[in-house]
Amino acid sequence: METLAGLRPRLRPDVLLSEPLLRGPKTVHLVKDPVGGRSFEVGPREGFLMARLDGARTLAEIGDAYAAAFGKRLGEAHWRHLLQLLGGRGLLASDGHGLSASDQGPGADPGRARAERPRNGLPRGSVRLVADAHATATRLHRATGFLLRGPWPALLLALVVAAEAAQLARLGELLNGVERVFGNPVLLAGVATLLWFSTALHELAHGVAARHYGGRVGEIGLRWRLPVVIMYCTVDHYPWLSTRRHRIVVAAAGAVTNLLFLLPFTVWWLAAPPGATREALAGLLFLGSLQALAMLVPLPPLDGYTIVGQALGATRLAESSRRYLALALRRDPAAAAYPRRARVTYTAYGACAALIAGLLLTALVLLATALLTP
């Protein structure tokens, strides 16, 4: 360490390092190079070291902290390997604190990686609607970002809960409204148009919330899988947003916006006299609420799955749960290698996912029966 102890290497400021996340039997950190577009995983020890390569601390100081945390001191060979690995990926800053740009090796790529977009065809494809999606999200945030601050989130959630409670209390009327909507092609087309507009707001809400918490919106566009055409909004760097709470808010923003979209229709429905208009509104409210709440179901690829994964501090939760439960059911010795937190997390999620799937199937059968029975 005599030759390296005084070095103060620094990760490039734009390199993204996530908090510790559970994946399978391991804890990992997600790392992304925004310039090269590459991402990979590192273990907790590597993540500990990378988080401290700030250009202010020497390798000797970082080594002391590492020894205190993990009970082992790194030798010069370990440091050289780490610095060569990070330098080869172009992740170290060339500002005189550590390796220079020429030392970083052929892996450094100063250009932005450009992923090839799949060709559009009639059955499926996508098209961007705006040239600069982040600038569009910024403009929308200027107009609506206040709703994510102060008392507004609590007030809006209270209104949504009150509206859903009012609808639940009159569930029979809502089901009659659904029957009326499906029996009238004009009403069905109108309700479908409003719900499509609601899904567009859903996507934009993800982007505005991400912009509010420092994320970047990559694309806003249309995607089609005929006969379905939907709007989409991609959030770059989502796993690296500053806190877990912020990531949960971004994931939930779409469904909450769907329910907020229904608030004026709820007021109109409650005030409308019995008749065709009230029945049409009832059908819209039931289908709109069903659409929004379905997005909160904790099954992939829905928003609820993302929320649960963030709340549990896990990545690829469904995949890891399936693998662990398969091992556990076979009594494979590999299941015992999972730490207690992983065993509890994957068992609980697997059981809840199976229960939710059963409840959803039952609800669909009951709903179909209610709609088809005179």
Q: Are 68 and 55 in contact (CB under 8 A)?
A: no
**Count of CB atoms within 10 A of residue 328's CB?**
17
Cα–Cα dist 52/61, whole Å: 10
Q: What is the pTM of this model?
A: 0.89
Domain boundaries, the chain: 16-104, 124-310, 314-374
pLDDT reported for residue 242:
86
**Count of CB atoms within 10 A of residue 235's CB?**
24
305 phi-psi bin (left φ>0, alpha ψ -120 to 50, beta other): alpha
**Mean of pLDDT values over 35-55:** 92
167 pLDDT above the threshold of 60: yes
**Over the stretch 68-126, which tens digit does the pLDDT of each residue have?**
999 999 998 999 999 999 998 899 997 544 443 333 433 334 334 344 566 788 788 99
Cα–Cα dist 48/70, whole Å: 10
**Over the stretch 116-127, which tens digit does the pLDDT of each residue have?**
566 788 788 999
**Over the stretch 209-243, which tens digit does the pLDDT of each residue have?**
999 999 999 999 999 998 899 999 999 989 999 89
**Over the stretch 24-41, which tens digit does the pLDDT of each residue have?**
999 999 999 988 888 999
In the numeric block, the tokens 């172009």 are attached to 90
Cα–Cα dist 372/13, whole Å: 60
130 phi-psi bin (left φ>0, alpha ψ -120 to 50, beta other): beta
